[in-house]
Chains A and B, each alone.
Chain A
Amino acid sequence: MTSLILKMSGIDKSFPGVKALSNVDLDLYKGEVHALMGENGAGKSTLMKILSGLYQPTDGTFYVKGKEVRFQSPADAEDAGISMIHQEFNLFPNLTVAENIFIERSSILGKAGLINWKSMYNKAQELIESLGATIDVRDKVQDLSVQSQQVVEIAKAISFDADILIMDEPSAALPENEVKNMLEVVRRLKEKGVAIVYVSHRMPEVFEIADKVTVLRDGNKIATKPVQETTQSELISMMVGKAVDELYPSKTKAISEDVVLAVQDLEITPRHQVSFELRKGEIVGLFGLVGAGTHNVAQRLFGLKRGGGTISINGKKVKISRPKQAKKNDIGYVPPDRHRHGLVKEMTVQENLTLTILEKLSYYSKLNKKKEKEIIQTYIQDLQIKTPHEKQVVNLLSGGNQQKIVLSKWLVTHPKILILEEPTRGVDVGAKAEIYALIQKLANEGMSILFISTEMPEVIGMSDRILVMHEGAIVKQYSYGEVEQNELLAIASSPGGIEVKTT
């Protein structure tokens, strides 16, 4: 009944020193959502980049609508009706949202071949609204939050009516409520007959939206199964190669009473302040929707922005107006945008990993390269970072492995307080479990962790205490095991409404 629209067979892809894909097949039918899963570095993005014409396969053939095709560039793929949302953002920060969506479309040209700005804005606004988002399409993309940028990416990809839409981790940067909107859009596209390849590390989504799922491991295809015929644990064991019993570590240790970090009236915007405490060995989750101000809290604590209020560490007031001071006070920070703030992507794994501790690795600025190498090796092994060698340029690693590097570059500093913002963005389940276990272990060893995430399950699963933020204020606090997803989301979206109900 449904027709085969894409057939990839025997795809091989080698990079210098890496065999990213070997003999991978993939069939795609009209109107289906086909999930692609696998660990970080399994080859998902590579396969999709081949499909969208960005890479050329080393070997193998593929057919679109029965015709063999060979794409030399993304433009070729676009002509064949294939559109892709890349794992990394590909927006023009200096242009407006509307321009980003429509820049290469001739539909925006009015009379005399000149751009009709008005109709472009209108069309863009419609499109954004159809995604259930509220973004002013006249804003420049550089002024948008990461989440809104993701929405723009999606809008851009669906703005022209592709037959095949590739979505490489579209939800990674989205908060829960917007993920729902996006899935709604995917469903609508599917009904219109678009074939969608959906790459994601988030199990619930896959079960919610996908018809079929294909699992890759180390560049090999493991299986393709209808979603109804598989389970979460089966998928995980296919991906990881072994079973993962528990995603979240168990809480065994009682938290000490020593307050490590005390924040009093911390100004996060000229009109909003927050106060809270963080105890030794405690994991505090900070949850809020877009615009709640969780990001600003992290920025203030790490000295990226300045403002009023006091920060005390171990009872002593400290001044933190630059990241360097934060680091001196044993604070580490894993930022949400690893590309811009986390990594020097043109440099090697080693150079990135030790960037934060070069002071300790050098004597009068002279580097101790031997010691540096030793440290590197331990972290590459402990965190199972997949890289051919420590001299690999970070740019060439898979997204999840890049994330692990950002995490480790702060772990090497042995911070007393670690601020994690979206620490598992784009990380596969296996690695996620490892990272969670690692975080718990660090906490058990006495590190205090501020866990900021828009992904509810992990906030709930990891936090000893959850602080919920709404419009620049902490509105509610829960202990471990005290709250479910529904309530958390409801509180975060409208605390007033809940309050009325409970009283």
Chain B
Amino acid sequence: MKTIFYFLVFPGFLFALIVGMVASYIERKVTARVQWRVGPPILQPWYDLLKLFTKESVVPENAHLLTFLATPVLFMVSATLVAMYAGMAFFFPDAAFQGDLIVIVYLLTIPPICLILAGAASANPLASLGASREIKLVLSYELVFWMTIAVIWVKTGGELSLVNIMNKPPVMYSYSGGIASVLALFVMQAKLGRVPFDIAEAETEIMAGAYIEYSGPLLGFFKMGQYILLATLPFFISSIFWGGVNVFKYVALLVIVILVENTNPRLKVKQCLKLFWFILFPLSLVALILAVVGL
């Protein structure tokens, strides 16, 4: 019962959703300010969501209905699970379990998969293209992500628990940890699907990619999942690299995401792959070697 409370209300669904909506508001507002605009009102994410849930859902004729309906919900659920595990380690250290690090990282791959399946099930060429881009994006950043996690393991002596990692001195204050934490920022940007890594959504190229056929509540589930991820990922990165979370660290990470988003054009899939595999991966290898050496 307690677990279900964790899951649905506090650090899980409701909490993460609200934080995510605030974060999304901050994102849109700061973006607007950077672009000399006023930006939306504070309740805008809430209005968007509410509106989506009052609309009807249209499903393409040729789509596979069950997959089409289930993937958005699964997207949201898996994002919530991540939020819950990450949040529990911070708010209820006693209830957290050993080795949640790997579990969280693994769970983080589920939302992209739901997106891919959703795109594939839409029976739309542009959605398929979006799905194919998303999976390539996952392939690109996953390697670097694991490398940065490995740096943490080495620095903390094989620690698999978020609570223990947060209790140790922050990883980022070392050469290897510094490099790894910078790389993790790239990964976070990619995982959030923000510019320059918004290749899977690329509105001006493939309309909305995998989301193209989604409407109404189904799109609303995706939106909720995205808000939750937006709330969770900076939280997670901050807790493993910056030695815990507080409002300042969180907002700082959010601002980094927003600034990068607003000062870069979108990359191509190939360039993305090249960036992660041939530039960032060797860097992460250097970080790992440094970590093993003890720097």
A and B form one complex? no
Interface residues of A (CB under 8 A from B): none
Interface residues of B (CB under 8 A from A): none
